[in-house]
Amino acid sequence: MNPAAPPLPSPGHLRGIAQVALAAVLWGAAYPLTKGVLGTLPPIGLGFFRFALASLVLVVLTRSPPLGGIAPADRRAMGWLAFWGTFVLVLGMNFGLRWAPGIASSIISGTPPLFTVILAAVWLREPWQGRQFAAVAIALAGLFLLAGDTSEAAPRGPHYWLGIVLVTVPQVAWAVYGILGKAIISRYPWPVLCRDTFALGATMLAPFALAEAWQAGLGTWGSREWLVLGYLGICNSVFTYGLWNSALAMIPVSTASFVLYLQPISGAVLSSVLFGERLGPAGWAGTGLIFLALTLVLRERPNAPEPA
């Protein structure tokens, strides 16, 4: 008697995977595309215009102003989400990409799950398992190998290593955003949450962007710069969130997390095409160690319930 064949994935399941895959590819492309215009645009100003555009689109979609419909008790928490998820993220990403290789930055962009585990253990006192200790050690070794083995033409001076550190900061900030948002995300639909995160974050960036413009100008805006701004503000900051959140209604979070492995891969491929960057043997070894560490972190415990 032949054992029963495993059931085929439902159309909804396949659609959810496809949506997360598309979101991951779009998110991954943000790093090399941003790096490509930072030679002509100011870093803080680019971040401000990106999230101002994204918040304006969501204000139109939700037909409500920033903080509209948000309970007074939740507004402070919304401000903290904007600080970590927009303000710190932009400063680390846009300044770091001025010096860090695009290919290394793209691979590092896949590490927020690792930092989430570390912060949850330190901040929320969640117990660690042996595999999580191993994942942190493996990932640190992988980051060290990756950062020191790219074909970037610039010398390995202080700015190079500062760039590597700075592009790691947004990954920590995103982990903080995820932990802080646990209590509030379930109370509001994602367009409202993103509307306020983006609008408040743009407001925080505004005075720094004005000071930057006063000192260095608004940069040189051509067709490439406008296209990248539209991509970052709409595709990367609005469309992808819609894909991600609607997909989670069709597939488990654990499945979506593994599909997100496409994010650093797509960014690394695009960096190779745009900038001619390549990884050497040590860089490939470091990339493998980072993915191994993420696999250890994201692997569910036996009989563990599916996270909400």
If you ran DSSP here, which 8-state letter would residue 85 be given?
Answer: I
pTM score of the predicted model: 0.80
For position 50, what pLDDT does the model report?
95
C-alpha to C-alpha distance for 163 and 32, rounded to whole angstroms? 14
pLDDT digits (tens, 9 = 90+) for 229-266: 999 999 998 998 888 877 877 877 656 666 666 677 77
Banded model confidence at residue 27, pLDDT cuts 50, 70, 90: confident
Model confidence at 148, pLDDT cuts 50, 70, 90, reads low
> Is the pLDDT assigned to residue 302 strictly greater than 50?
no
Q: Convert 287-305 into a string of H (helix), E (strand) and C (coil).
A: HHHHHHHHHHHHCCCCCCC
167-184, pLDDT tens digit by residue? 989 988 988 887 887 778
DSSP 8-class letter at 64: S
CA distance 218 to 40: 9
What's the N-to-C CA distance of the chain in angstroms?
Answer: 39
Number of domains composing the chain: 1
Confidence of residue 17 (pLDDT cuts 50, 70, 90): confident
Contact present, 166 and 95 (Cβ < 8 Å): yes
Structural domain includes residue 3:
no
Q: To 10 degrees, what angle do helices 43-62 and 190-216 make?
A: 150
- Residue 47's pLDDT band, with cuts at 50, 70 and 90, is very high
Closest listed residue to residue 285, CA positions, set 158, 165, 102, 150: 150
Residue 207 has pLDDT above 70, yes or no: yes
Side chain identity at residue 260, one-letter code: L
Task: Specify if 4 maps to a domain.
Answer: no
Handedness of CA 57, 43, 278, 296 (dihedral sign): negative
Residues of the domain holding 221: 11-298
User: Does the pLDDT of residue 306 top 50, yes or no?
Assistant: no
Q: Does the residue 118 lie in any domain?
A: yes
Check residue 305 and give its pLDDT. Answer: 41
Collapse the DSSP code of 127 into the 3-class scheme (helix H, G, I; strand E, B; otherwise coil) and give the result: coil
Cα–Cα distance measured from residue 82 to residue 59, given in angstroms and rounded to the nearest whole number: 16
Measured distance CA(135)–CA(17) in Å, rounded: 25
Structure-model confidence comparison of residues 8 and 292, the more confident one: 292
Radius of gyration (C-alpha) of the chain in whole angstroms: 20
- Provide the phi-psi class of 23: left if phi over 0, else alpha when psi is between -120 and 50, else beta: alpha
What's the whole-number average pLDDT of the chain?
80
Which residues, including other chains, have CB under 8 Å from residue 118's CB and lie 6 or more apart?
136, 175
- Say if 308 falls within a structural domain: no
Cα separation values, 281 from 23, 75, 246, 274, 278, Å: 29, 48, 39, 21, 10
